Amino acid sequence: MTQTGTILVVDDDEAVREALQSLLRSVGFAVELYGSVAEFMQRGGLPETPCCLVLDIRLPGMSGLDFQNELTRQKIAPPIIFITGHGDIPMSVRAMKAGAIEFLTKPFRDQDLLDAIHAGLEADRKRREESRDLADLEGRYAALSVREQEVMGQVVTGLMNKQIAVNLGIAEITVKVHRGQVMRKMNAQSVVDLARMADRLGISSGDPHLTRASAR
């Protein structure tokens, strides 16, 4: 049984690393081992495939928790499973609040780790899919002309073509044409669908176009 996903293990203890490698390979994961955060950094980013980080809390140099913060700060958010020799409650609370998938105390049940890894990979897969979708959406939005983007911004706030025409200072017929282009280019099924896309893209009702228009 081969599973898609790379497990990145960062633990300063070789015995733990080797054991984890064997366990994870036995269930078909690709495994990469690192002795410290610095070693991990040399890898240069995360793999393209779904991945999951298994992090020891206590590491030489930067600790696991600090590394988690650092990744969050850099907006790289791979799923993280913490393993620790002696985790205390504040530590686990901090880790979980910062978005960790699981916080396991060594020695742990293999199934607990594998479950957490599955959950982590699933989350990563979803995250990747979403970000892929978003990138796609952003690409489509970027393909719109400036005028079309303006029209789209007005449409998603629920304005009538006539109002939009007045707001933008163009003919209503022109608005209609732009609107059709937007719906086609954005591959939107309905105005509601378009509004959802706008929402994901971060185009809100407080759109600057609208503000400018009302000020006129």
Partner 1 sequence: MTHLAARYSVSIFAVGLALAVGLLFGLDFDVRLGPLLFICAVMLTAWFAGPGPGVLAVVFSSLAVLYFWTPPVYSFVLLPESIPVMIAFVASGLAGLALSLQRRKRALQAEENRTNLEHRVAERTAQLRVSEERWRNLFETSSVGIAITEPDGRILRANEALQTMLGYGESDLRLLTLTDLMASGAGTGEERSREGGLELPLRRADGHNLWVSLSVSLIPASDASPPLASAVVVDISARRRAIEDWRKGQSEVARATRLTTMGVLAASIAHEVNQPLSGVVTNGQAADRWLAADKPDIQEARAALSRIVRDGNRAAEIIKSIRNVLDPVGEEPRPLAVNQVIERLVPLVENELAAHSIRLVLDLAKGLPQVIGDAVQLQQVVLNLILNAIDAMRGTLESERVMAVRTAKAGGDVVVSVEDHGTGLPDIPHDRLFEPFFTTKAEGMGVGLAICRTVVESHGGRLWAEPLAPRGAKFAFALPAADQGGTLPKKKEAEQ
Nearer to partner 1, 110 or 122 (CB): 110
Q: Does 166 help bind partner 1 (rule: CB under 8 A)? A: no
Q: Does 215 help bind partner 1 (rule: CB under 8 A)? A: no
Return the residues of window 143-162 that contact partner 1 according to CB under 8 A. Answer: none
Binding to partner 1 by CB under 8 A, coded x per residue (else -) over 37-76, reads ---------------------x-xx---------------
Q: CA-to-CA distance for 207 and 156, rounded, in angstroms?
A: 10
Q: Does 31 help bind partner 1 (rule: CB under 8 A)? A: no
Q: CA-to-CA distance for 81 and 43, rounded, in angstroms?
A: 19
**Residue 169 Rama label (left phi>0; alpha psi -120 to 50; beta):** left
Of 2, 48, 75, 86, the one binding partner 1 by CB under 8 A: 86
Nearer to partner 1, 114 or 170 (CB): 114
Which stretches within 74-145 are classed as H helix? 89-97, 110-143
Q: Could you tell me which of 52, 106, 58, 104 has the C-alpha nearest to residue 82?
A: 104
Of 22, 49, 72, 205, the one binding partner 1 by CB under 8 A: 22
- Is the distance from CB of 73 to CB of 65 less than 8 angstroms? no
Tell me how far, at minimum, the Cβ of 104 lies from partner 1, in Å: 10
Q: CA-to-CA distance for 175 and 161, rounded, in angstroms?
A: 6
Q: CA-to-CA distance for 157 and 95, rounded, in angstroms?
A: 40
Q: Where along the sequence are the contacts to partner 1 (CB under 8 A)?
A: 1, 12-13, 15-16, 18-20, 22-23, 25-27, 58, 60-61, 85-86, 106-110
